[in-house]
Amino acid sequence: MKRREFLVAGAGCACLLFSKTGFAETAATGPIVIGDLKSFAKEGLDSQFLKKGFFLVRGKDRLYALSAFCTHRTDAQLKGQTGAEKIICPRHNAQFALDGTPQKGPPKRNLDRFAITVDAKGQVTVDTSKKIEAGKTDEAPAFVKIG
């Protein structure tokens, strides 16, 4: 097999792999309107936006969006059921708390947070193109205040 044929075949395999794992679906970035603030009344993990690349978490008086990709291997999509108390990486069984801090396994870094805002009509938007810097998770737009 010639080098060029090898590269073409490899690229085709990579595209197929990404489409089968769901990675291709989550690659889109930018603002996503996710609904009315009142519809996120239940505390805990909400996994309904997993295919968009993030989890929604409501804790006490805050609503925030956590990346659904492991900080150890960024190609590994995390798993978490709505209402679960932890987020798990199926690649190496790492565990993250609902605030995004690593609890078990090789990751050393917290899960990324995405900018989240609410407009005057109460519509919540998560912007997956805007990551919140570590150390700035206690200020807007790292969360939306509830109540």
**What's the token pair of residue 63?**
């609503």
Residue 70, φ and ψ in degrees, nearest 5: -60, 145
Strand order in the sheet with 102-104: 87-89, 94-96, 102-104
Residue type, 39: S
Averaged pLDDT, 15-23: 44
Position 15 scores a pLDDT of: 45
The model's pTM is: 0.78
- Lowest-pLDDT range of 20-29, 78-87, 130-139: 20-29
**Length of the chain counted residue by residue:** 147
Torsion over CA: 105, 69, 109, 88 (sign): negative
Using pLDDT thresholds of 50, 70 and 90, give the confidence band for residue 3: low
116-140 pLDDT, tens digit each: 999 999 999 999 999 998 889 999 9
55 near 139, Cβ under 8 Å? no
Position 31 scores a pLDDT of: 96
Averaged pLDDT, 66-91: 89
34 near 48, Cβ under 8 Å? no
115 near 128, Cβ under 8 Å? no
CA 129, CA 80: separation in Å to the nearest integer?
22
Name the CATH superfamily housing domain 27-145: Rieske [2Fe-2S] iron-sulphur domain (2.102.10.10)
Position 17 scores a pLDDT of: 47
146 near 58, Cβ under 8 Å? yes
CA atoms within 13 A on the CB side of 123: 7
